C-alpha cells in the first residue's frame, strides 16, 4: 500500500507540469506512467547508430507559450531554448520561396508588407479576406463555439474568400497549426489560433536546444523525487476507488494499491476511456470521449553528409501531393551539433493516407521535398535515416470538438483532468498541455484549502488588433 496526497496518471507534459506544481506547493505526489519513457508525445529517444537524441517529432515554441516557459523557469532549463534572432517564417512554394518577416508595425499590420509581396496570391485575392479578418478580430469565446459547428473551408467560402487565398494561406495554416485538412477543421478552433497569430506583433519563434523531452523531463523527474514524490514506470491503473462519490485511490496493474485524496488523469481521451469504469462512461464529460479522434503523424530524420543550409526551420505551402510540411535542420538549432552536416527532421501531418507508405518511400519522398528548397539535398549522401510513426499527434479539431472539450473538474470529487485536449482556451499544443497541468494543480490545491493562481492568462491582443476586439 502506498499513501500519497495526489496520484497523477500519465507522465507526459501535462502530468509532469501538475506533478511539479504540486510538489512545489508541498504536496506529495505519485506519478504513474504506463510506458518506460516520460515525456509522452514530447519525449526524446537516443538513436542507436549515432547516439544523438531525437524526438518523436520536433516542434517550435513561441515566446507567448507562457505556461510552458513558466515550467521551464521553475525547472531551471529555460536557457536551453534557442530563440530566433530575427523572427521570420520561410514558406516554400516550389519553385518559389517566400520569407514572411514581422515588421515593426502594430498588429495586425506587422505581416502586411510581407503578404503584399506574395507573388502567388494577387492583391484582389488577399483583399477577399477582409470580412473574415474583421470577424476574427471581433472573436470572443461564444463566437468560437458558434463557429465550431462548421468546417473552416465551408465558412471561408461563405465569407467570400477567394480560392487562391484559401489554398495558399488557410489550407497551409490548417495543416501546419491544426494538423488536419481545412475541410475537416473546426472554423472556431482555427480562427481562435489565427486571432492570436495576427493579433500580436511581439512573438518570437524558439526551438529546444536539446532533445525536446530533455528540455523538461529529467529536471521534472528530479524535482518530483527531491520533493518526496514517486514515479512508477511500466505500470498502469487497473481500477479507481470511489467512496461516497469521491476518489480515494487506485489499484495498479501489478496489484499495488495507492491511497490518495486526489487524482489527476493526464492521458489521452482514448486512454482515459479505457481506464475508467464502464458505468462512468455515461456521465458528462466522459460520455463524449469517443468524439475525440487522434490525428496521426510521421516524423522523418535524415542525416546528410553535407551542410545544406544555415536556416533552422522552414515550412511548405499546402499542395495536394505534399507529404511533409515542417522541416528543421537540427545542426542549426542544437549547440552540440553546431558545425555538423545537416540533420533534418520533418513532420508529415495527418498522415492517414501516408501510413501505407514504406519507410523507404517516406525517406525518398522526404529527400525530394527537402530538395525543393535545398537542391543539393537531391545529391548529398544520406548517412542514416529513421522514421517515427506516431498514432496521435493531437486530437483532431473537427467541427463540434471545441464545444465538448472538458474542464479540469469532473463529477467524481477529487478526480481532475489534464492534457492538451481539455478546455484550456488554446489549440492542442505543448502550451495547452502545460496550461492544463497548471489548471489541474490549481483545482487540487483549492480543494485542499490552498487556493492560488498558477496558470498564466491567455495571450492578449496588442496594437490595432486590441482596439478592434470586442474586449477593448
Which is nearest to 36 in space by CA: 217, 177, 219? Answer: 217
pLDDT score recorded for residue 282: 78
pLDDT score recorded for residue 469: 83
Give the other-Cβ count within 10 Å of 195's Cβ: 24
pTM for the whole structure: 0.96
pLDDT score recorded for residue 280: 83
Element (H, E) at 88: strand 88-93
pLDDT score recorded for residue 471: 62
User: Angle 261-266-270 (CA atoms, 0-180°, nearest 5)?
Assistant: 120
pLDDT score recorded for residue 115: 86
d(CA 312, CA 5): 44
C-alpha atoms less than 13 angstroms from C-alpha of 367 in its C-beta half-sphere: 19
User: Angle 100-104-106 (CA atoms, 0-180°, nearest 5)?
Assistant: 100
3-class SS of residue 54: strand
d(CA 237, CA 253): 6
Q: What is the pLDDT along the chain (472 residues), one digit of tens a residue?
A: 999 999 999 999 999 999 999 999 999 999 999 999 999 999 999 999 999 999 999 899 999 999 999 999 999 999 999 998 877 899 999 988 999 988 888 888 888 888 888 989 999 999 999 999 999 999 999 999 999 999 999 999 999 999 999 999 999 999 999 999 999 999 999 999 999 888 888 888 999 999 999 999 999 999 999 999 999 999 999 999 999 989 999 999 999 999 999 999 999 999 999 988 888 877 888 999 999 999 999 999 999 999 999 999 999 999 999 999 999 999 999 999 999 999 999 999 999 989 899 999 999 999 999 999 999 999 999 999 999 999 999 999 999 999 999 999 999 999 999 999 999 999 999 999 999 999 999 999 999 999 999 999 998 888 888 887 876 4
pLDDT score recorded for residue 103: 87
d(CA 315, CA 40): 25
| Exposure string over 215-244, b if 16+ CB within 10 A, otherwise e | bbbbbbbebbeebebebbeeebbeebebee
d(CA 469, CA 471): 5
Amino acid at each position: 500500500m502506498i499513501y500519497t496526497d495526489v496520484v497523477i496518471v500519465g507522465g507526459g507534459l501535462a502530468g509532469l507540469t501538475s506533478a511539479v506544481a504540486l510538489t512545489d506547493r508541498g504536496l506529495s505526489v505519485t506519478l504513474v506512467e504506463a510506458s518506460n519513457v516520460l515525456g509522452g508525445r514530447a519525449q526524446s529517444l537516443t538513436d542507436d547508430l549515432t547516439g544523438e537524441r531525437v524526438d518523436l517529432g520536433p516542434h517550435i515554441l513561441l515566446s507567448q507559450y507562457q505556461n510552458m516557459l513558466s515550467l521551464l523557469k521553475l525547472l531551471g532549463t529555460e536557457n536551453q531554448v534557442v530563440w530566433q534572432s530575427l523572427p521570420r517564417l520561410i514558406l516554400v512554394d516550389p519553385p518559389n520561396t517566400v520569407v514572411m518577416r514581422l515588421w515593426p508595425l502594430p498588429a495586425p499590420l506587422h505581416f502586411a508588407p510581407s503578404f503584399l509581396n506574395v507573388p502567388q496570391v494577387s492583391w484582389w485575392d488577399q483583399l477577399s479576406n477582409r470580412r473574415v479578418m474583421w470577424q476574427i478580430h471581433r472573436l470572443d469565446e461564444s463566437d468560437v463555439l458558434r463557429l465550431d459547428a462548421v468546417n473552416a473551408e465551408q465558412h471561408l467560402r461563405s465569407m467570400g474568400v477567394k480560392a487562391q487565398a484559401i489554398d495558399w494561406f488557410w489550407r497551409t495554416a490548417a495543416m501546419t497549426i491544426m494538423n488536419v485538412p481545412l475541410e475537416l477543421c473546426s472554423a472556431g478552433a482555427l480562427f481562435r489560433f489565427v486571432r492570436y497569430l495576427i493579433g500580436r506583433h511581439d512573438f518570437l519563434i524558439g526551438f529546444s536546444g536539446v532533445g525536446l523531452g530533455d528540455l523538461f523531463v529529467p529536471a521534472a523527474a528530479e524535482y518530483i523525487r527531491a520533493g518526496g514524490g514517486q514515479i512508477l514506470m511500466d505500470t498502469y491503473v487497473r481500477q479507481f476507488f470511489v467512496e461516497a462519490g469521491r476518489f480515494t485511490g487506485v489499484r495498479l496493474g501489478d496489484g499495488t494499491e495507492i491511497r490518495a485524496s486526489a487524482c489527476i488523469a493526464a492521458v489521452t481521451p482514448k486512454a482515459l476511456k479505457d481506464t475508467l469504469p464502464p458505468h462512468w462512461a455515461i456521465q458528462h464529460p466522459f460520455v463524449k470521449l469517443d468524439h475525440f479522434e487522434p490525428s496521426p503523424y510521421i516524423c522523418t530524420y535524415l542525416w546528410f553528409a553535407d551542410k545544406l543550409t544555415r536556416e533552422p526551420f522552414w515550412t511548405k505551402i499546402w499542395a495536394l501531393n505534399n507529404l511533409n510540411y515542417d522541416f528543421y535542420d537540427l545542426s542549426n538549432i542544437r549547440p552540440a551539433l553546431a558545425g555538423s552536416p545537416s540533420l533534418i527532421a520533418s513532420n508529415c501531418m495527418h498522415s492517414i493516407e501516408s501510413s501505407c507508405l514504406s519507410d523507404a518511400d517516406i525517406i525518398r519522398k522526404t529527400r525530394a521535398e527537402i530538395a525543393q528548397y535545398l537542391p543539393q539535398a537531391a545529391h548529398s549522401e544520406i548517412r542514416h535515416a529513421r522514421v517515427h510513426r506516431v498514432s496521435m499527434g493531437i486530437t483532431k479539431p473537427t467541427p463540434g470538438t471545441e464545444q465538448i472539450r472538458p474542464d479540469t473538474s469532473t463529477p467524481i470529487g477529487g478526480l481532475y483532468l489534464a492534457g492538451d485536449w481539455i478546455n484550456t482556451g488554446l489549440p492542442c499544443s505543448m502550451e495547452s498541455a502545460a496550461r492544463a497541468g497548471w489548471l489541474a494543480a490549481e483545482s487540487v490545491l483549492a480543494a485542499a484549502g490552498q487556493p492560488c493562481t498558477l496558470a498564466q492568462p491567455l495571450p492578449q491582443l496588442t496594437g490595432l488588433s486590441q482596439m478592434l476586439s470586442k474586449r477593448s
